Structure 1
Amino acid sequence: MNVATLTSPTDFILPDWLNECMVQVPQPDASSTDAETDKDEKESSGPSLICRAFCFAYELHEGQFRASGEPYIAHPVAVAGLLRDLGGSPAMIAAGFLHDVVEDTDVTADEIEERFGPEVRQMVEGVTKLSKFNFSSKTERQAENFRRMFLAMAKDIRVIVVKLADRLHNMRTLEHLPDVKRRRIAMETREIFAPLANRLGIGRVKWELEDLAFKYLEPDAYRQMQSLVSEKRGSREDRIAQVTDVLRDRMAQSGIRCVDISGRPKHLYSIYQKMQRQHKEFHEIFDIAAIRIIVESNEECYRALAIVHDAFKPIPGRFKDYIGLPKPNRYQSLHTVVVGNMGRPLEVQIRTLEMHQIAEYGIAAHWKYKESGHSSSKFTASDEKFTWLRQLLEWQNDLKDAQEYLDNIKDNLFDDDVYVFTPQGDVVALARGATSVDFAYRIHTEVGNRCAGARVDGRMVTLDTPLKNGDIVEIITQKNSHPSLDWLNFTVTSGARNRIRQWYKRSHHDENVARGRSMLEKELGKNGLEALLKSEPMAAVAHRCNYHTVEDLLAALGYGEVTLNLVVNRIRDAVKATQTIEVASHDADTLPLPTSHRNLKEVPASNPNHSPIIGVEGLLYHLAGCCNPVPGEAILGVVTMSSRGISIHRQGCHNVENIPGDRLVPVSWNNSDPARSRPQTYPVNIQIEVIDRVGVLKDILSRLTDNNINVRNAQVKTFPDQTAVIDLCIDIRDHTQLERTFTQVRKMSDVLNMRRISQAEDC
C-alpha cells in the first residue's frame, strides 16, 4: 500500500503523530525499478519503518473488528502510540503495530523479518502468544506463554515493554468483554503484569494497570474509593498547597533550586491496599497524597531533607533512603513522613530529575531521555539491573508443573525485599522472610550446597533465622557439607528451593529412576513395560513433559516432580495416536487400574473436568478428616480398607506414613473445575497459643471476621500462670487464604504460636 494513498475507516482517525510521520516519508519515484525500491526500503529511515509497519498491519487487519465494534487497527495504533510515549525506537514502534499479525493472520515470523528486519521479528515473536499450539489446560497454556515471553525478554528486554503496552490498552478497553473474561484478564494483570512493570520501574504503567484491575476485580470497593477520594479532594489540595508554599520559600532561602515541588495523589488501589493491610478506615489513612520535591543533585536531595525536617516534625521510623540503597528496579528517592501544618501526617519524596524519570519510565528512561536522541540499544538478562530476570530464567526450566511455575513467577515478581550485606559490603536483595540459606544460594550454588552455618552481624545463628534489613551475613562452608531436605521448610526464595531439589535429584538419580520405573510397573503391569519404555511414543511422552530422555522422566516421576496420573494419561494419548503399541496386553484405550483399585466402588460417570480431584475419576472418595486438605496443597490418595473408597490426605499427614505404597494414589486438585468459581469452603483445625488476657479470643475472632472467615467451633484452655491454648475449626476456601490468615493472626502481639492440628483417622 502506498503511504500517500492510504485512507482510514470512516470511524477511525489516525493520531496526529502518525500523520506527521507519514508526511516525513518521501514517496518512491515512479521511474524507480522494483529492485531500487526494495533496496531503499531495506535502508529506510525510522519514519519509513514506522509507516511501512502501519500500512502492513492496516492491510492485514482490514475487515477485523474489536469487541467494542471499532476497527481492529485501532488497537495496534494505540499500542504503538504508548511505545512512542515511552521513547521507544522505530523498531519498537513497528513491533507495536505488528504484535498481533503472527497470531491473528497467516503471516509468518520469517516474513516479518524479510520485510522489517530481525530486530522487529524478535520483539513480535516474543510477544506472540502460543495460540496455535495445543495444551491440556489453560494453566499449561498460560505457563508456556510466560516461559516463552521470559526467554524472549532475556534476549531483549524491550519485548516486555511492548507486551506491557499491549496489556495496558487491552485493560483500558476491557469493559467490552464478558464478565468472566474480564475477571480472568484483570487477575492475570494484577498478579503478573503490574508486578512486571514494577520490576522494570515503569511506575506510571504499574499504577494504571493496578487501578484498572482493581476496577474489574472489586468493582464495589473501587467505586467506594473513588467516592471517598473525590469527597476530600478540596481540603487535601488546600493542605498540600500550604505545605508546598512553605517548603518552596525555605528552599529558595537556602539556595536550593527546585525543578518542581508539587502534591501527588496516591492511586486508588494503593490506598485500598493500605486500608486492608492495616485494618483501617479511609479517614484513618493520612498519607492519601504525597509531596514530591525534585532538585538538581544528590547533595541537594539531602539538604532538602534537612529543610523538610526543620520545617515540620518528622515521624520516627518513617524515613527511607532509597538513594543510598536503591530498590531492585533502580528506583531512587528519599522518603520521609512529617506532621504537616494542620497536625496530619504527610509523606514527602525527594529526588533528582533523573531519578524522577527512572521512577516514571523505569528501563524506558534509558532510551527516552538520552541526550543523543532515541536509543535502540538492547538490554539483556546479563545486565546487572536485571538480576531478578536471571533468577527467573535459572529455575524456570526446572519447574515442569505449570501451576508451580506460575506460583513461582508471582512470588518472584512481587517487590517485598529485605536488603542485607556481604562481609565485603555488597548489597544483596532477598525476599521478605529469607534466611541464611537463601543468601548462600544467591551468592553461588556451591556456597549453598556447602553451607554448614552462618554468622549474622558477627554472631552465630541457626540457618532458619529470618534476615533483617542491614544484616551483615557470612556463610560458613565445609567440603563435606551438603543440602538437607529440611531446608525446604524454611527457605523462601525460588532459587534456593530449586537448587536444593536439584542437588537431591542428582545425588539420588538412580534411586529415583528405579522408583519411577516401579510406579509405572504397578500401574501398567510388567508385561510390555520394557518395550514401552524404549518406544517412540514413550520418547514423545518424555518430550511432551519437558524432559530430554525417558530416564529423566522416570527420575522425575520417582522424585515426585510429575504425577503418575499425568504420565499415564500422556502415555495413553501417545499410544492411542500411534495405535502400534499395546501396554501390558491391554488395548491402548483401556490402561488397567492398579491392583488395589479394582475392588473400589465406582460412582456414576461424569465429566472429569467437573471433579475437584484429578486422579479419582469414577471412584468413590472423601477428604480425610484428620488433616483437612484444602485446594492449593499437595495431596495424596489412600485406598481405604473400608467401603469409603479413596481417602484424600495432605502430603506429609502422619496417618499415611506407614501406608504401603500399593495403596497410595497420586492425585491433585483440579484447578479447571468450574465449581471452583463458586464459593466452597473446607474445614481446617488450628491451635493458637496466646498470652492469657481478657478479650484475646474476641480479638482473634474479629480478625478472622474481617477476612470473611467463618468459625465453626472454638474452645479455650487456660492454665494458672501459663499461656492459654485456643482450638478453632475454621472454614477456608484454599491454601492461599489459609496462609494469609495465618500471617495476619501471627502478627497479633498476644499470639505466641499458631499451627494446624491433625486427628486420627482409620485408613
Structure 2
Amino acid sequence: MNTTTLISETKPVKKLHIPNWLNNCLTGDQNDPHNSLICRAFNFAYSLHEGQYRKSGEPYIAHPVAVAELLRDLGGDSEMIAAGFLHDVVEDTEITCEEIETLFGANVRQLVEAVTKLSKYNFSSKKERQAENFRRMFVAMAQDIRVIVVKLADRLHNMRTLEFLPPEKQRLIAEETKEIFAPLANRLGIWHFKWELEDLSFKYLNPIAYNNIKNLVSERRKDREGRIENVIAIVNHRLNSLGINPIEVKGRPKHLYGIYHKMELQHKEFDQIYDMAGVRIIVNTNDECYRALAVVHDAFRPIPRRFKDYIGLPKPNLYQSLHTTVVNSNGRPLEIQIRTLEMHNIAEYGIAAHWKYKEAGNSNNTHLSSDEEKFTWLRQLLDWQKDLKDAQEYVDNLKENLFDDDVYAFTPKGEVIPLTRGATVVDFAYRIHSEVGNRMKGARINSKWCPLDQSIQNGDIVEIITSNNSHPSLDWLNYAVTPSAKNRIRQWYKRSHRDENIARGRELLEKELGKNGLESLLKSDTMQKVAQKCNFVKVDDLLASLGYGEITCMQVISRLREENKQQQPEVKTQPLGETPLATTVTKTYKEINGNKYPICGIEGLMYHIAGCCRPLPGENIIGVVTNIRGISIHHLDCPNLSTIPGERLIPVSWNSGDSKSRNSTYPVDIVIEALDRVGILRDILGRLTDQNINVSNAGVKTDFGKPALISLTIDVQNATQFRYVINQIKNMSDILNIRRVSEVSSINK
C-alpha cells in the first residue's frame, strides 16, 4: 500500500491511501480497455464522493476502493471492479442510472442499479423495504450473477467497519448478515466470505461468547498446531511412499462461529469440541483423492458414520471434497478434507471459479452459463418468489432456501433432490414442481407406501404418485416443514377460490373509498400502476390478494394516495367528489372544530375508561359516577351496569369532532383461536404491524391436539379501526375464531 496523489479533472488534488494494484492502473497504459474502465470509474466515484465521510471519519471513497479490491481478489473483471467503485453513487449522489450507462456501459449500469438500495421509494414498513430490496436483487442476479458478488463484497466491508455505528444498528445489520448474506455466500460457494461474515455477525450479536471463544482458541493454539504438524508429517510420508505427490497438505483452523455453532448444536462445552482444526489434502486427480482417503484410513482409525463423499454427490453450490473424521495418535478426533486443486478453487471462490464472461469476445455473456445452471436453487427461488407478495413471508422463504440442504433424496430416475433436514414427502413433491405437489395422491419411499407426513432420510428413493383429480388438503399445512411447500399449498387455495376473493377485495375497497366511481377507478391506469407497485400484474390479481388477506386495504390505499399525489399534486385543495380518493384525502385533512374533550357530557370532570368493558370511540357509552375516580365510562351493554343504581348513571357520548381523541389510543383485549403451527404468532403480529397497531401484551397457550389460544392487548383509535383490524386477522388462513375478552361482542369466523 502507498500514498499516491490522485488527479481529477473537476476536483482539487487530494491524497488518498490506495492499494498498489489501483495505483498501477492509474499510472499504467490508459489505452488498455481494462485499465481505462477501472480508472474512469475510480476518478468518477472519487469526484462524486469528495467531501463525504464515513462514520469512522475516513473519506467515503475508502469504502468503494475496499469493495473494488475484494472483487479484484476474487478475480472479477473490469466491469465488476468498476461497479465496486460506483455502487453507491446513485444512492448517495444526484447521478442517475442512465448517466452510469452513458459513461460506463449497460453492464456496469445493471450491476450498479441492482445493488442500489431502494431508499428513494416509499414503503409501509421496514420489512417491506427489506423484502423488495432482496426481490429486486435476486431478479437482477438471474440476469447477471455478478450482482450478488458485488453486493457480498459491499456487505463484507461494511461488516468490517461496523464498530462505528450505534449498537442497535450494529445488531440489525449483523442479524441480516447472519440470516441472509452469510448463507448466500455459502450457496455461491465463496467460503472465505461466508466464514468472515459469520464471525463478524457473531461478534456483534453475542460479543461475550465471541470473546470467550476467541480467547480460548488463542490460549490453546500452540498445542493444537503441534498435533496438526504431527498428522501432516505422517500423511506426507505415507502419500510419498505410494508415489502420490500432494500439491499441499496443511492445517485448517475452524472459524469462531463454527466452533460456537457446534457447541450449541451438540450441547457441548469448549473442552468437548476436539475438531477445532483439521487437515486439508490437495492432490492432482479424482483418483488420487480416493487413494489418499485409503492412506488416511490406514494411518488413523476412522470414526463410523463420519465420512461424506461430496465428489460423487456434490453440494448444490458445486462444492466437491471428501470429508472423513479420524482419531489421531493423541486419541482426539480430527477432520480431514481431500480434494483436487480445481475443487479447492471452487470451494474458496465458488461461483467466481465458473464465470464465463471472458469467453471469445462475448462481453454480454453474463447470464448463468452451463456450469452455473447447476445452481437450481436460484431458479427455484425466482420461481417461488413470483407468488410471494407478503414481505414477512418472502423474507422467511428466502432464509429457508438459502441455508444448507442436509438431506439428499432421489427420484426413481436417479435425480438428486436436496432437502432441509426433517422435510416430508409433501416437501419433496413441491420441491420437484408445484404441479407435482398439487396433484399428489400418495407416495412411496424405497418402493413402500408411506404417509404424507413421513420424514425423508439421506439416500431415500421417493416416488410421488399423482392424479389429475387430486388436490392439496389443508391438513398438508401440518405435514409440510418448509415455508415454500406451505406457501404453494396456500397459493392453490387462493387460486381455486379466486372469484370469491376478487369479489371480497372489491367489497373491502368499496367500504373504504365509497361505491361512486369505484368501477371506473378499478379500470383506470392509476389502479393498474398501484397493482404493479404491489407486485401484481393485473388489478384482479390485486383484488384477489386483498380479498384473501395477503395484503391489506391500508397498503392499497397508501399506494393509491402516492400515485394520486404524483398525478395531482394539489389534491388537498380540489373539490370533494372528483374521485373516491380525492374525497378520502380531503376528509382526512379537513380541520374539524370541536371542544378539547373526547367525551361529551362530562366537560371539566375527572373521568376514566372502565377496565371491565373498555369501550372504544364509536361505540355506545354511558357514564357512572364513582366515589373516588370521578366518572367511569362504560360500554352501554356492559353486564356490570345491571348492579348500578339509576341515579349514578350519566348520559355521555364520544366527541367525534375532537382532534385530540383521534390521536389517542385505547387498549382492547382479544383472544384468537388458531391452528397450532410454528410462526402463527409472528404472522399475526406482522399483520398488526402493517396496520401500525401497537401490541402492549401478548400470551400463547397451547394444548396437544387443540387450537392455540393467543391473548393480545392491542391499542386502537376507535371501533371502526378495531373492526377493520379484526377482519384483517380473520382473513388469515389459520385463524379459527376471534373474540373480545370483555364479552361485549364476539367475532366468529
Calculate the TM-score normalised by the size of structure 1: 0.76
1:198 aligns with 2:216: no
Q: CA offsets, 1:508-551, max 9 Å, x none?
A: 21122123334445566656655654566654543432223332
User: How much does 1:74 deviate?
Assistant: 1.0
User: How much does 1:667 deviate?
Assistant: 8.3
1:324 partner letter = G
Alpha-carbon distance in structure 2 between the residues aligned to 1:275 and 1:250:
33
Cα distance 1:730–1:574, how it changes in 2: closer, same or farther (>3 A)?
closer
* 1:459-470 correspondence runs (5 A): 459-470=448-459
Q: Which of 471, 474, 477 is the matching residue for 1:482?
A: 471
User: How much does 1:85 deviate?
Assistant: 0.5
Alpha-carbon distance in structure 2 between the residues aligned to 1:248 and 1:274:
29
Alpha-carbon distance in structure 1 between the residues aligned to 2:674 and 2:388:
27
1:388 aligns with 2:377: yes
> Counterpart of 1:21?
25
Cα distance 1:291–1:370, how it changes in 2: closer, same or farther (>3 A)?
farther
User: How much does 1:623 deviate?
Assistant: 4.6
Cα distance 1:586–1:407, how it changes in 2: closer, same or farther (>3 A)?
closer
Three-state SS of the structure 1 residue aligned to 2:535 is: coil
User: How much does 1:480 deviate?
Assistant: 1.6
1:599 aligns with 2:608: no
1:174 aligns with 2:162: yes
1:419 aligns with 2:380: no
User: How much does 1:585 deviate?
Assistant: 8.2
Cα distance 1:417–1:553, how it changes in 2: closer, same or farther (>3 A)?
same
Whether the 8 Å CA contact 1:433–1:492 is kept in 2: the answer is yes
User: How much does 1:686 deviate?
Assistant: 4.5
User: How much does 1:302 deviate?
Assistant: 1.1
1:437 aligns with 2:426: yes
2:619 partner letter = N
1:581 partner letter = T
Cα distance 1:375–1:521, how it changes in 2: closer, same or farther (>3 A)?
closer
Whether the 8 Å CA contact 2:311–2:321 is kept in 1: the answer is yes
* 1:19-418 correspondence runs (5 A): 19-26=23-30, 44-367=32-355, 378-380=366-368, 383-418=372-407
* 1:459-608 correspondence runs (5 A): 459-521=448-510, 530=519, 533-534=522-523, 538-567=527-556, 570=559, 578=571, 580-582=578-580, 588-590=586-588, 598-599=618-619
Q: CA offsets, 1:187-206, max 9 Å, x none?
A: 11111111110000000000
Alpha-carbon distance in structure 1 between the residues aligned to 2:461 and 2:620:
58
Structure showing greater Rg: 2
1:668 aligns with 2:687: yes
Alpha-carbon distance in structure 1 between the residues aligned to 2:711 and 2:506:
40
How many matched pairs?
643
Task: Give the RMSD, CA atoms, in angstroms.
Answer: 4.0
Q: CA offsets, 1:357-377, max 9 Å, x none?
A: 111110112359999999995
User: How much does 1:16 deviate?
Assistant: 0.7
Q: CA offsets, 1:148-198, max 9 Å, x none?
A: 111110100001111111111111111111222211111111111111100
Three-state SS of the structure 2 residue aligned to 1:515 is: helix
User: How much does 1:58 deviate?
Assistant: 1.3
Alpha-carbon distance in structure 1 between the residues aligned to 2:512 and 2:92:
43
Q: CA offsets, 1:277-304, max 9 Å, x none?
A: 1111100111111111111111111111
Cα distance 1:671–1:287, how it changes in 2: closer, same or farther (>3 A)?
farther
Three-state SS of the structure 2 residue aligned to 1:251 is: helix
User: How much does 1:571 deviate?
Assistant: 5.5
> Counterpart of 1:685?
701
Task: Give unpaired runs (5+ residues) of structure 1.
Answer: 27-39, 606-614, 636-649, 652-665, 690-727, 733-756
User: How much does 1:674 deviate?
Assistant: 12
User: How much does 1:458 deviate?
Assistant: 0.5
Three-state SS of the structure 1 residue aligned to 2:399 is: helix
Three-state SS of the structure 2 residue aligned to 1:82 is: helix
Whether the 8 Å CA contact 2:411–2:462 is kept in 1: the answer is yes
User: How much does 1:587 deviate?
Assistant: 6.8
Q: CA offsets, 1:37-62, max 9 Å, x none?
A: xxx7xxx5211211111111111112
Whether the 8 Å CA contact 2:357–2:365 is kept in 1: the answer is no
> Counterpart of 1:633?
680
Cα distance 1:376–1:447, how it changes in 2: closer, same or farther (>3 A)?
same
Whether the 8 Å CA contact 1:195–1:415 is kept in 2: the answer is yes
Whether the 8 Å CA contact 1:103–1:131 is kept in 2: the answer is yes
Cα distance 1:729–1:619, how it changes in 2: closer, same or farther (>3 A)?
closer
Whether the 8 Å CA contact 1:491–1:497 is kept in 2: the answer is yes
Task: Give unpaired runs (5+ residues) of structure 2.
Answer: 590-614, 622-632, 635-653, 656-661, 713-735
User: How much does 1:687 deviate?
Assistant: 5.1
* 1:641-656 correspondence runs (5 A): none
1:410 partner letter = K
Q: Percent identity?
A: 60
> Counterpart of 1:746?
none
Whether the 8 Å CA contact 2:6–2:14 is kept in 1: the answer is no
